Every structure is written in structure tokens, then in C-alpha cells.
């Protein structure tokens, strides 16, 4: 009795009741498909987030505000108000990090209309220093970025993101043309090549002004949203984070680390946090999907029990003809295994298809990894063996004399 014999007997049994077999396998199909699709979505989201965070630039430290536990801030510059970063903070960091090779870039943002003639569009104004282009790795497709040395007085130069440029000028080259932002006239000196989404923001809609210009002519306040510091190397990051924290704590006159009204975080820390959260969500969802795989397994067991009962006489005949208990066990486990592995294979295909459909229609990224496919298939096999074993054991234990008389 060889493997092909067992396979043939099992296939014959499965084919003799195609609808029932298909419905039984469907339980596993759904379980495996949901595991594969959910993990694909989770891993896709991970890749997407990683790319976005890495898209910020390399070896980046991001300084933002945070609300200290007591709610207020001890910074004498804005005592009583919410925590804020100021242009002065950027200057202090720039001076304090002199000689370390680190590059400091503050960013102010504002949503404001931008117009040319009768055409108006909404732009996300980014007020920053000219080194921004270098730190954030902006590619300039036309013209140039904001000019160095223009940091002290408002300038009339503007650089447009690719989307902003297209909305205002269509296919025309915007360089040398003028736009209005809040009643001020600016000359377009450059266009940034398309970069896409960063978080939930389309950075191609950005419009870049110098920080001084933004402060004086757009925002009419001096609130800095972020300060980026680019480290010269990954190894320099920890030391740099400490120095920055010390400098800012001094600048804000805060001695108790508990009361810091700013946060200093490296890109890799952001990445780890995001990945960690995502892993938890993916694991949780896959766990729920595994439960459905379990339900599929119970379906297999149920049908196998029915199948054993229906074929009691057949088992009796086989035993009378010389089948060993082992032969009977293998026969029924093979049957359960075929159902579950078939369900597993179809489930993997189904899961990949679902992931594809979601990434096509929702625009989410999905990643099908070989390991997940392998694990899903392994699980479906395990379900077959686990839930097929008991019915097979019952079949092998049948008394052939009674089984032969079974009607």
C-alpha cells in the first residue's frame, strides 16, 4: 500500500460528494485567505510608513512640542501659553551644534490661498531655511530652491511643489512668473519634483518661502512647528539628541526633564514606534483570522465524522480484506488533509487576490511575503491532521463484524 493508493482512495471519496467537500474546504479557504490578506495589508502598511518616515531624509532628528504633565510650560518666552518652539530655538541649536556637522532646519507651516489672476488654490506654506532642500532631499525640477543668506529679511522668492505649480500654471513653466499669497506678490524661482504623500499630507502641494517671510507676511506669528536636525552619521544620533535636549532645556529654562515642553526624537525611534503599533494591530487581526481557520477545522472534523459513519461498512469490508488499522487511519487523515490543504491553497490565492483588490481600489500598499504564505499553508495542513485524526482513529477502531452488518 503506497502513498498514491491512499491519495487515490481519498480523492475518490472527496469527489463522490463534490458540494460537501467544497463547502468543507471553504471554511479553511476563508480562514487562510483572511490571514494572508490581513498580514499582507499589515506588512504593506509597515512598508509604507517606513518609506514615509525614511522619506523625511536620512539620520534625521525631529524636534516637536509636547505638553508637559502639568499642562503649562515653564518657558519664560511664552509663560502661561501652550508649549511652543520659536525661531530663536532654531538659532540656539544652530549655534550650539556648530562644528558637529549637524544641520538645523526649522519649519513653520500655514494653510493659505495662493492665486494668480482669477485662479485660486489652497497651498500648504512651508516657511523654512534654504538648507531645507538638502536636509529633506528635495529634487528641484526647474529653477532653484530658496537662496542662502536670505534668512534675515522677508524676500519675494517662492518655490512651488509640483502639484501647486500644475494647479496654478498648468503645463507652463512657472519659473520667473508671479503669484499672490495673502496680498503679497512673489516671484517663482523654482519647482520641486513630485515626491508624493508624507503621512497624510501631499508634499507636492507645498509652497516654500523663507521662514522670515512666512513669519512676517503669512503667519504673522513666530510659532515654529518642527525643527529638523540632520546628523552627519547614524552613530552621531544619540550624542546629538542629548546635546539638543540640553540646549533646548537651557533655552526654555526647564531643569526637570519631566517638565520638558518639547520632544526630541530620531527618525528610527519614530519608525520603531510606528512599526511596533502596526505589528500589534496585525497580530491581533491575524489572531482573529486564525480563529476562523479553527472554525474551518471544526467543519472538517464534523464532515469527517459524518464520512466515517457513512462509510462504516466500507471500513468493515476493507478490514476484512486485510487493511491494517494504520491503513484506515491514513486513508481518513489523507482525506482530511486533502480538504484542508486544498482549502489552504485556495485560501492563499484568495488572500492574495483580496490584497490585490484592496491595494488597487483603496490605494493601500500590500506585501505578500513567502513566509506568511508558508505559515498559512502549514497551518492549514496542521488543521487537517489535527481535526482529521480523531475521526480517522474512530474509523480504525470500528469492529469489522459490526461494521460489515452496518446498514
Binding site for other proteins (CB under 8 A): 1-2, 4-5, 12-13, 16, 313-314, 316-325, 327, 400-401, 404
> Could you please report the per-residue DSSP string of 255-271?
--GGG-SEEEEEHHHHH
State the nearest-atom distance from the C-beta of 402 to other proteins, in Å.
10
Task: Return the residue matching grid coordinates 471544526.
Answer: 298
State the nearest-atom distance from the C-beta of 319 to other proteins, in Å.
7
Cβ density class 397-407: b for 16+ within 10 Å, e for less: ebebeebbeee
- Residue 58 C-alpha cell reads as 536620512
Give the nearer residue to other proteins in terms of CB position, either 4 or 153: 4
CB 64 within 8 Å of CB 270: no
User: Residues with Cβ < 8 Å from 2, sequence gap 6 or more?
Assistant: none
State the nearest-atom distance from the C-beta of 316 to other proteins, in Å.
8
Give the nearer residue to other proteins in terms of CB position, either 12 or 147: 12
Which stretches of 85-183 are assigned E, i.e. beta strand? 103-116, 119-128, 140-143, 157-161, 178-181
CA-atom Rg of the chain in angstroms:
33
Distance CA 108, CA 75 (A): 19
Give the nearer residue to other proteins in terms of CB position, either 167 or 318: 318
State the nearest-atom distance from the C-beta of 289 to other proteins, in Å.
35
Give the nearer residue to other proteins in terms of CB position, either 91 or 327: 327
Give the nearer residue to other proteins in terms of CB position, either 167 or 311: 311
Torsion sign, CA atoms 379, 384, 390, 396:
negative
State the nearest-atom distance from the C-beta of 28 to other proteins, in Å.
24
State the nearest-atom distance from the C-beta of 318 to other proteins, in Å.
7
Give the nearer residue to other proteins in terms of CB position, either 222 or 327: 327
State the nearest-atom distance from the C-beta of 331 to other proteins, in Å.
11
Give the nearer residue to other proteins in terms of CB position, either 94 or 318: 318
User: Residues with Cβ < 8 Å from 24, sequence gap 6 or more?
Assistant: 299, 300, 303, 339, 343
CB 25 within 8 Å of CB 343: yes
State the nearest-atom distance from the C-beta of 345 to other proteins, in Å.
24
- CA 313 vs. chain centroid, Å, equals 56
DSSP-derived secondary structure letter, 199: T
Give the nearer residue to other proteins in terms of CB position, either 136 or 318: 318
Amino acid at each position: 500500500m503506497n502513498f498514491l493508493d491512499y491519495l487515490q482512495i481519498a480523492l475518490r471519496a472527496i469527489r463522490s460528494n463534490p458540494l460537501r467537500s467544497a463547502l468543507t474546504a471553504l471554511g479553511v479557504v476563508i480562514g487562510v485567505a483572511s490571514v494572508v490578506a490581513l498580514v499582507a495589508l499589515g506588512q504593506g502598511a509597515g512598508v509604507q510608513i517606513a518609506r514615509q518616515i525614511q522619506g523625511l531624509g536620512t539620520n534625521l532628528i525631529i524636534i516637536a512640542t509636547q505638553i508637559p504633565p502639568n499642562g503649562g510650560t515653564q518657558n519664560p518666552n511664552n509663560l502661561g501659553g501652550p508649549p511652543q518652539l520659536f525661531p530663536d530655538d532654531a538659532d540656539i541649536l544652530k549655534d550650539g551644534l556648530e562644528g558637529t556637522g549637524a544641520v538645523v532646519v526649522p519649519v513653520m507651516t500655514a494653510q493659505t490661498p495662493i492665486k494668480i489672476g482669477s485662479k485660486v488654490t489652497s497651498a500648504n506654506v512651508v516657511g523654512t531655511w534654504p538648507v531645507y532642500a538638502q536636509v529633506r532631499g528635495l529634487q528641484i525640477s526647474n529653477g532653484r530652491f530658496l537662496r542662502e543668506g536670505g534668512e534675515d529679511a522677508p524676500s519675494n522668492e517662492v518655490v512651488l511643489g509640483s502639484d501647486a505649480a500644475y494647479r496654478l500654471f498648468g503645463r507652463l513653466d512657472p519659473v520667473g512668473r508671479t503669484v499672490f499669497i495673502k496680498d503679497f506678490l512673489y516671484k517663482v524661482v523654482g519647482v520641486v519634483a513630485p515626491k508624493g504623500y508624507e503621512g497624510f499630507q501631499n508634499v507636492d502641494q507645498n509652497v516654500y518661502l523663507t521662514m522670515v517671510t512666512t513669519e512676517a507676511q503669512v503667519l504673522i506669528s513666530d510659532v515654529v512647528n518642527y525643527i529638523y536636525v540632520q546628523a552627519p552619521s547614524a552613530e552621531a544620533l544619540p550624542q546629538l539628541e542629548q546635546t539638543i535636549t540640553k540646549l533646548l532645556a537651557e533655552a526654555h529654562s526647564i531643569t526637570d526633564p519631566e517638565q520638558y515642553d518639547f520632544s526630541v526624537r530620531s527618525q528610527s525611534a519614530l519608525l520603531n514606534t510606528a512599526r511596533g503599533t502596526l505589528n500589534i494591530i496585525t497580530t491581533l487581526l491575524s489572531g482573529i483570522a486564525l480563529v476562523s481557520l479553527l472554525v474551518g477545522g471544526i467543519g472538517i472534523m464534523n464532515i469527517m465524522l459524518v464520512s466515517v459513519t457513512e462509510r462504516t461498512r466500507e471500513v468493515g469490508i476493507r478490514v476484512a480484506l486485510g487493511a491494517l488499522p494504520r491503513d484506515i487511519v491514513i486513508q481518513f487523515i489523507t482525506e482530511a488533509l486533502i480538504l484542508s490543504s486544498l482549502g489552504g491553497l485556495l485560501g492563499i490565492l484568495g488572500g492574495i487576490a483580496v490584497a490585490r483588490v484592496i491595494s488597487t481600489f483603496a490605494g493601500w500598499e500590500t506585501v505578500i511575503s513567502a513566509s506568511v504564505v508558508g505559515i498559512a499553508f502549514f497551518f492549514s495542513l496542521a488543521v487537517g491532521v489535527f481535526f482529521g485524526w480523531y475521526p480517522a482513529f474512530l474509523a480504525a477502531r470500528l469492529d469489522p463484524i459490526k461494521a460489515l452488518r452496518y446498514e
